[in-house]
């Protein structure tokens, strides 16, 4: 009987250690707060964030990331500008280094606009906090998909590598919204 209890205790300790390792180093649950990522993500969506993706590689354009916006608050946004990029929006179109870049994830939001309205107001990276000519090394320009209602790089400036928690990879709640995040 004593051996059986010891086996149960060992199994519990091993499971707890593995859960801590997975939570701290590999994946984290996150709940979306607010409308800034509509229509891609909705407020109260529950996500799995991969912390290991950026340990093994670097963030890529259009990744959806969670980052520390303040000491107490994490935000979720989409990476638009990579280190070395000159970013500009003109007439609701994204230009990276002078080349127009399509943003298909915004199509649903753009369809809901009235004639003559734009989703993203014109700006250049020079007009953002910091006034850089291009995204500095080790930094990223991030925007919410709901451009008219998002606190992002247009207000915060570019974010640094060390602010990034990880990449949002899976929405798992509510059940009717289970999907991998592109």
- Half-sphere exposure in the Cβ direction for 166 (13 Å, CA): 21
Task: Return the residue matching tokens 């400036």.
Answer: 157
Which residue among the candidates 2, 44, 58, 77 is catalytic per the annotation? 77
Backbone angles phi, psi at 56, to 5 degrees: -90, -20
Angle of CA points 108, 112, 116, to nearest 5° = 120
Q: Rounded to whole angstroms, how far apart are CA atoms 79 and 57? A: 15
* 39 is a catalytic site residue: no
* 10 is a catalytic site residue: no
Which residue among the candidates 36, 50, 153, 171 is catalytic per the annotation? 36
Count CB-CB contacts under 10 A for residue 120: 21
Catalytically annotated residues? 36, 77
């Amino acid at each position: 009987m004593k051996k059986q209890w010891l086996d149960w205790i060992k199994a519990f300790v091993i499971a707890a250690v593995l859960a801590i390792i997975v939570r701290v180093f590999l994946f984290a649950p996150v709940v979306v707060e607010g409308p800034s990522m509509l229509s891609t993500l909705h407020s109260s969506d529950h996500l799995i964030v991969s912390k290991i993706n950026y340990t093994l590689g670097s963030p890529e354009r259009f990744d959806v990331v969670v980052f520390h916006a303040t000491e107490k608050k994490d935000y979720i946004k989409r990476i638009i500008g990579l280190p070395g990029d000159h970013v500009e929006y003109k007439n609701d179109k994204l230009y990276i280094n002078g080349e127009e870049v399509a943003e298909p994830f915004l199509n649903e939001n753009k369809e809901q606009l009235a004639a003559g309205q734009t989703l993203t107001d014109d700006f250049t990276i020079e007009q953002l906090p910091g006034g850089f000519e291009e995204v500095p090394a080790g930094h990223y320009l991030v925007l919410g998909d709901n451009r008219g209602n998002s606190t992002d790089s247009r207000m915060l400036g570019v974010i640094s590598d060390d602010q990034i928690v990880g990449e949002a990879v899976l929405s798992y709640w509510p059940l009717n919204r289970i999907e991998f995040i592109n």
